[in-house]
Structure 1
Amino acid sequence: MKNHFGFTACAFAGLVLLGTGCTEETQNKLSRIGVTWLEGDYRVTFAEGQHVKQWEVRDSKVTSEAAKGYYYFWAVENGKKIYVQTPIERTYIEEIP
Structure 2
Amino acid sequence: MTEEKDPFAFLTLTVPKRAPVFPGSVGTFRYRLVRSGKENEGTIEASVYENICFEKAQNIETQTFPWSEDGMAQIRAWLAEKLRERGAQPFTIFGGR
With the shorter chain as reference, the TM-score category is 0.3 to 0.5
TM-score norm. by structure 1 comes to: 0.34
Higher helix proportion (structure 1 or 2): 1
TM-score norm. by structure 2 comes to: 0.34
Higher strand proportion (structure 1 or 2): 1
More relative contact order in 1 or in 2 (CA 8 Å, sep 6+)? 2
Larger gyration radius, structure 1 or structure 2: 1
